[in-house]
Amino acid sequence: MEYSRVSSKVKATPSGATTPLAVLFDAYGTLFDVYSVGSLAEQLFPGKGQALAVMWRDKQIEYTRLVSTSNDGAHYQPFWDLTRAALRYACRRLGLNLLAEFESQLMNQYRHLSAFPEDREVLRALKDRGIATGILSNGDPAMLDVAVKSAGLEGLLDHVISTHVIRKYKTHPEAYALGEKACGCTASKIAFVSSNSWDALAATWYGYRTLWVNRQGLPFEELGTQPTRTGSSLHDVLDFFA
């Protein structure tokens, strides 16, 4: 699944900008709904499911930053391990008794997160236009393989790129560089799509054409840079090719 299929021709839009040659998607939160675990969490911990889903995700991202920036990555752990550690922390913080069977159920649910309903339609539309597509994710290869298969996205992605190979997580520049290497072109010729504002910002800083998928109507980061585009669903990536 990790191969390049990129045309050497660059098409100009009426504004003078170039049409992207490839589109890379963040996985967790963008293609796969990280908060879909809340339903199971609510069954296991009535009244606490949503709070657990939110804290679990926040701590997971915090841990990726912690292990990437401390001692030059000497404390790196795979994303799966960080996800488990974040679940345990969130349950302790919320005073929840995480039985071994509950942990197993929740982690298994994280392997099979719900896909957003427009995923297949958008990926198919890009493929029909001859645009290379892929995932650029913090998820480790085994996690991504299961998630892609579970969502029925096999055959719609030219690249499934995991930052595990460099033992650093986004927003490290080396993580974003993996997309250029896979697609065989510079970041300025690639559209990067993320529903995580911090990810969209860092990708913009790196040089990608970016789409921030703002499904929740949130403000963007206040650091002086805006994404190339902002939309409310994955459908908005097609505007790059209007």
pLDDT tens-digit series, residues 116-156: 999 999 999 999 999 999 999 999 999 999 999 999 999 99
Q: Which helix (H) or strand (E) holds 167?
A: none
Give CA–CA dist 173/239, Å, rounded.
Answer: 26
- Domains of the chain (ranges, CATH numbers): 22-32+114-241 (3.40.50.1000), 34-111 (1.10.150.240)
- DSSP at 220: P
Give the tokens for residue 114.
């719900």
pLDDT tens-digit series, residues 169-223: 999 999 999 999 999 999 999 999 999 999 999 999 999 999 999 999 999 999 9
3 against 194, higher pLDDT: 194
- DSSP at 57: H
Evaluate if residue 12 carries a pLDDT over 60: no
pLDDT tens-digit series, residues 46-75: 999 999 999 999 999 999 999 998 887 789
Q: Please list the active-site residues.
A: 26
- What is the DSSP annotation of 195-210? S-HHHHHHHHHHT-EE
Evaluate if residue 13 carries a pLDDT over 90: no
2 against 33, higher pLDDT: 33
Beta-carbon contacts of 229 under 8 Å, excluding residues fewer than 6 positions away, are 210, 211, 212, 236, 239, 240
Displacement of CA 80 from its chain's centroid (Å):
14
Evaluate if residue 5 carries a pLDDT over 80: no
* Three-point CA angle 142, 162, 191, nearest 5°: 135
Task: Average the pLDDT over each of 5-9, 218-222, 234-238 and give the range with the smallest value.
Answer: 5-9
Torsion of CA 223, 227, 231, 234, to 10 degrees: -120
| Residue 185: closest CA among 1, 7, 15 | 7
Displacement of CA 36 from its chain's centroid (Å):
15
> Looking at the chain, how many residues does it have?
242
86 against 7, higher pLDDT: 86
Distance (Å) of CA 24 to CA 42, 187, 237: 33, 10, 10
